[in-house]
Structure 1
Amino acid sequence: MTQQRDVVVVGGGQAGLAAGYHLRRRGLDFVILDADAMPGGSWQHMWDSLHLFSPAEHSSLPGRLMPAQAGETYPGAGHVVNYLADYEKRYDLPVQHGTRVKAVHHDTDRLLVEADSGTWRARAVISATGNWSRPFLPAVPGHSTFTGRHLHTVNYRSPADFAGQRVVVVGGGNSGAQIGADLALDGRVEVTWVTRRPPRFLLDDIDGRALFGVATARRRALDAGRIDTGGVASLGDIVAVPSVRTARDAGLLTAKPMFTRLTVTGVRWADGSQSNADAIVWCTGFRPALSHLAPLNLRGSRGRIPTDGTRALGEPRLHLLGYGDWTGPASATLIGVGRTARDAARAITQQLS
């Protein structure tokens, strides 16, 4: 059975919900298809100790302030899940959970959205699937010979899973620093943190509030044809959240240069020495989850789909939301996605009229 809507939103995390809020305000007929069985987007799959970079009042979706979490300046992932579930319910957003979209196809006057529950015909599609479902693992010599555990950020939960073990954490971004700090502060794990270049910590008083402003200023400068300021990347790579500061200041979070290869029992360093390891945690980032858009044949360089704002250049009925700055400044953040979702809903309304 084929159903029809003005708009089909693929993905029911923070970007999909922000899109739904603005589509509802514009009176459009839409549905949100979400692969997760429960509300909360990727936040329900994060590690136990993860906290936001910003206070609750600066981490909100449009229309609904995130309430503060008792005893916490920076809310934890579980608090965000509860907020997103409440947001979905408060605005009665038509989210169909447990519905995985397989493919989006061209049609004459519509786009066909093929899901495991059936097919939808839409006048416009917003893809908001994020990147959590597509972890990136670099090609490292000896990867297949290592007999310990390989994990990515998506598989990490807590230090209790590694008590008494030797763990190498790879990655010089926020995930690597936070997971390294989480393990080091626990005291039951021998942790080695490795990065490809010396880690760059942002100033301790910089959090998500300031980063959103920097990202927005960069986008405005680029749109106006001014010189690229470098945005957030010009300030550093790691937000010094409390756990990271504590571990760093205690000398527990000191990075080593990247090893040259993996061995059967661990890693080999540039000087030829070796260290044993029971597990490697790869905090090496993600790629945008866009496989459902493959039939549209829109991919450009670096695996991205060229866009004008959120609109795909090769298919103007398709909008991409929440994948990073290339789909809107800070659009992969809670506070940043609302503005871009508003712009996408406005563009779609104009297009459909």
Structure 2
Amino acid sequence: MEHIDVAVIGGGQSGLAAAHALLREGLQPVVLEASGHTAGSWPRYYRSLTLFSPARYSSLPGMPFPSDDPDRYPHRDEVIAYLTSYAARLDADLRTHSRVAAVRRDGPAFVVDLEDGGRLATRAVVAASGTFGRPHRPELPDLEQFTGTVLHAADYRHSERFAGQRVVVVGAGNSAVQIAAELATVARVTLASRHPVKFARQRILGRDLHFWLKRTGLDIAPLGRFLRTPPTQLVIDDGRYRAAVTAGAPDRRELFTAIEGNKVIWADGSAEEADTILLATGYRPDLPYLTHLGALDDAGHPLHRDGASSVQPGLAFVGLEWQRSLSSNSLRGVGRDAARAARRLAAHLSRT
């Protein structure tokens, strides 16, 4: 069995940031990525996805995001190229097609079991596998009875396949609004949610929102430990999405109250046929490989404080939503949390 310093599970932005931070602490991480590329979930996001933060605020440590215009908002494929280039520059052992099946404790160390039968003994573990692999599908009225197509935003790539359809998008966050507005150019679309959509202006007094978040310190304020549940997500908007919803493309309604076959029953009692219900209802931490460690609560959420496992010494998390701050699971903020986790693990390993 191979023996290593630190196993980093996940080769996306969080895993790459963790590897960079661990190297700076003098440790030799092995990054285990389930897919065939070192760009995490970005290649599987919908094609039109654009970052909410400008290029100047969208970098991992040690490598600025390349752009002739630092105030431009990069597209999905640019992020994929950036992460691929970042990984190529890291002096770390990056192993693709290495899906982790389970992590078990072996005395003061851990054993990592891979799905292909391989095993690694490691002194520490960083769980950086993100959330995309665990789409959240909330309980909705009679959804299981719907005879049309039910998809999650994780399955959405582009609008062409929905041309001419009647589509109900469930959700009120950034992805829900972006996808619904895009679909509304080729289909009849309703954005359905329990609460109204809340917009945040993308530019304030001529500056991007992220300038003000950084200037005021709100972006890095350690508020995560005080939040039992993440706050309601604001839809960052330059005016286009609010205008689209106001114009009814998509129209916005209260969540349906029932489903009968392929018909959606609205709160006013009216019913209409629908072809597709698309759930833009978020994600949850994708950490099934930690089940054997008792490191998760009953809902599968990690038991931690600021990214350090509260039950397993030598286990750290990077890239969780509100792990420490507003920016914890973003390109602009994950590096700070990764550095903190790496320092803690280095101190732990020096003691053991």
Percent same amino acid at aligned positions?
A: 38
The separation in 2 between residues aligned to 1:142 and 1:230, in whole angstroms, is 29
The separation in 1 between residues aligned to 2:177 and 2:148, in whole angstroms, is 22
Q: Decide which of 214, 219, 225 is 2:218's aligned counterpart.
A: 214
Residue of structure 2 equivalent to 1:25: 24
The separation in 2 between residues aligned to 1:8 and 1:182, in whole angstroms, is 40
Partner SS state of residue 123, structure 1: strand
2:323 counterpart of 1:319: no
The 10-residue stretch of structure 1 (237-246 or 125-134) with the greater mean CA deviation from structure 2: 237-246
TM value normalised by structure 2: 0.90
2:163 counterpart of 1:163: yes
Residue of structure 2 equivalent to 1:252: 249
Contact 2:56 2:71 in 1 (8 A): no
Partner SS state of residue 31, structure 2: strand
In the TM superposition, what is the alpha-carbon distance from 1:203 to its structure 2 partner? 2.4
The 10-residue stretch of structure 1 (68-77 or 34-43) with the greater mean CA deviation from structure 2: 68-77
The separation in 2 between residues aligned to 1:86 and 1:254, in whole angstroms, is 41
Contact 1:320 1:327 in 2 (8 A): no
The separation in 1 between residues aligned to 2:6 and 2:230, in whole angstroms, is 33
The separation in 2 between residues aligned to 1:154 and 1:332, in whole angstroms, is 17
Residue of structure 2 equivalent to 1:348: 345
Residue of structure 2 equivalent to 1:104: 103
Change (3 A) 1:78 1:295: same
In the TM superposition, what is the alpha-carbon distance from 1:351 to its structure 2 partner? 1.1
1:1-353 matches, cutoff 5 A: 2-68=1-67, 73-117=72-116, 118-184=118-184, 186=185, 188-205=186-203, 207-211=209-213, 213-217=217-221, 219=223, 233=231, 237-241=234-238, 243-245=240-242, 247-248=244-245, 250-300=247-297, 302-326=299-323, 329-353=326-350
Change (3 A) 1:60 1:105: same
Change (3 A) 1:151 1:88: same
In the TM superposition, what is the alpha-carbon distance from 1:164 to its structure 2 partner? 0.9
In the TM superposition, what is the alpha-carbon distance from 1:263 to its structure 2 partner? 2.0
In the TM superposition, what is the alpha-carbon distance from 1:209 to its structure 2 partner? 4.6
Runs of 5+ consecutive residues of structure 2 not aligned to the other structure: none
The separation in 2 between residues aligned to 1:211 and 1:340, in whole angstroms, is 17
In the TM superposition, what is the alpha-carbon distance from 1:271 to its structure 2 partner? 2.3
Q: Residues 83-137 of structure 1, C-alpha deviation per residue, up to 9 Å, x if partnerless?
A: 0000000123321011100000011121111112411111110000110000011
Q: Residues 232-288 of structure 1, C-alpha deviation per residue, up to 9 Å, x if partnerless?
A: 947x62111565255246442442001012221131012221021110110011111
Aligned residue identity for 1:20: A
The 10-residue stretch of structure 1 (330-339 or 259-268) with the greater mean CA deviation from structure 2: 259-268
Number of equivalent positions: 343
Aligned residue identity for 1:252: A
Runs of 4+ in 1 over 4 A off after TM superposition: 69-72, 208-213, 228-232
Change (3 A) 1:301 1:208: farther
Contact 1:51 1:74 in 2 (8 A): yes
Q: Residues 165-186 of structure 1, C-alpha deviation per residue, up to 9 Å, x if partnerless?
A: 11110001111111011112x2
The separation in 2 between residues aligned to 1:74 and 1:232, in whole angstroms, is 25
Partner SS state of residue 217, structure 1: coil
Change (3 A) 1:16 1:261: same
The separation in 1 between residues aligned to 2:156 and 2:115, in whole angstroms, is 29
Partner SS state of residue 193, structure 1: strand
In the TM superposition, what is the alpha-carbon distance from 1:21 to its structure 2 partner? 0.6
Aligned-pair Cα RMSD in Å: 2.4
TM value normalised by structure 1: 0.90
